[in-house]
Amino acid sequence: MTKVYISGKFYEKQDAKISVFDHGLLYGDGVFEGIRIYNGKVFKLKEHVDRLYESAKGILLEIPVSREAMTEAIQRTVQTNDRKEGYIRALVTRGSGSLGLDPRRTTDPQIIIIVEEISLYPRELYEQGMEVISVGTIRNHPSALNPRIKSLNYLNNIMAKMEAIRAGCLEAVMMNHKGEVAEGSGDNIFAVKNGSLKTPSLDSGILEGVTRNLVIQLARDEGGQVAETALTRHDLYIADEVFLTGTACEIMPVVKVDARTIGTGKPGAMTKRLREAFTKLTHT
């Protein structure tokens, strides 16, 4: 039975509740992180906790515990649920307030940690590759809500996901305000051309993904060229390989973009090498 951590206490899943007046619920006012567990170890925990606190700072939300206490709470929740493999959702809300936007009227920010299983995509897609489609819903403008803030308000991403699903795909490719490739609804995106790896830069208006950063490092460790740069749809169409990265999806090959077959129509060599290196790193 899943036990959920809420602000220092554990509750059975069916009893895990917060106030309906919490601004996290009313306005999506809060931040979160998704983290993986491999072989009983929380993967890249420091990086995720650091990003959680950076996101909170970005929205002027003061998390009521230290980073060390948050780290300990996450580890304790994993141990309490006796998880060797799985997914962690750690989130912080603004707290309970009034039916109004004024955050000064909120009190008692809530820290919630959930540990569960996750299966974002069917296992066979990791061997066969996925088809994606670019959508009309653009990524939030960085001057409105910076995508590097991992906030509880995910409606932008959800609307893009809905477009993809209606088109018969499981994932979307979102453009930024300049019409350049940004990212998926929940993943970063990479393209391979002539042996070089390219991915949208942070100033393209994307989330700085923990898995994205790891894949860049893995590619560089094997001597590969990596460019963080602006990409267009055309860059994806003519790529030799395309893949997605994320904590939940890990490394997912893409074999079609907007009905254009990518490369040979099968997961490419670099994608496979990076997946193997990632798996070795997470399961040893």
Residue 188 CB partners (closer than 8 Å, separation 6+): 199, 200, 206, 207, 209, 211, 212, 244, 245, 246
Per-residue pLDDT at 132: 98
Q: Tens digits of per-residue pLDDT, 263-280?
A: 999 999 999 999 999 999
Where in the chain does DSSP place strands (E)?
3-6, 9-12, 30-38, 41-42, 86-93, 111-116, 130-134, 171-175, 181-184, 188-193, 196-199, 226-228, 241-246, 250-257, 260-261
For the segment 220-239, the average pLDDT, to the nearest whole number, is 96
For the segment 166-174, the average pLDDT, to the nearest whole number, is 97
Residues in the chain: 284
The SS3 assignment for 215 reads helix
Q: Sorting pLDDT into bands at 50, 70 and 90, what band is 1?
A: confident
For residues 106 and 40, give the distance between their C-alpha atoms in angstroms, rounded to a whole number.
Answer: 37
The yes-or-no answer on residue 44 being catalytic is: no
Q: In this structure, are strands 250-257 and 130-134 parallel, antiparallel, or unpaired?
A: parallel
Q: Tens digits of per-residue pLDDT, 80-135?
A: 999 999 999 999 999 999 999 999 999 999 999 999 998 889 999 999 999 999 99
Q: Which residue among the candidates 3, 150, 161, 198 is catalytic per the annotation?
A: 150
Which stretch of DSSP H or E encloses residue 70?
helix 67-80
Q: Tens digits of per-residue pLDDT, 42-88?
A: 999 999 999 999 999 999 999 999 999 999 999 999 999 999 999 99
Per-residue pLDDT at 118: 87
Report whether CATH 3.40.50.720 matches the domain 3-116. Answer: no
Q: Tens digits of per-residue pLDDT, 189-209?
A: 999 999 999 999 999 999 999
CA distances from 41 to 35, 142, 246, 276, 282 (A): 11, 34, 18, 19, 9
The CATH 3.30.470.10 domain(s) of the chain lie at 3-116
Can you name the CATH fold of 125-282?
Answer: D-amino Acid Aminotransferase; Chain A, domain 2 (3.20.10)
The CATH 3.20.10.10 domain(s) of the chain lie at 125-282
| Tokens 């299983």 sit on residue | 117
Give the pair of three-digit tokens for residue 111. Answer: 């820290």
Q: What is the pTM of this model?
A: 0.95
Exposure on the CB side of residue 237, measured as CA atoms within 13 A: 7
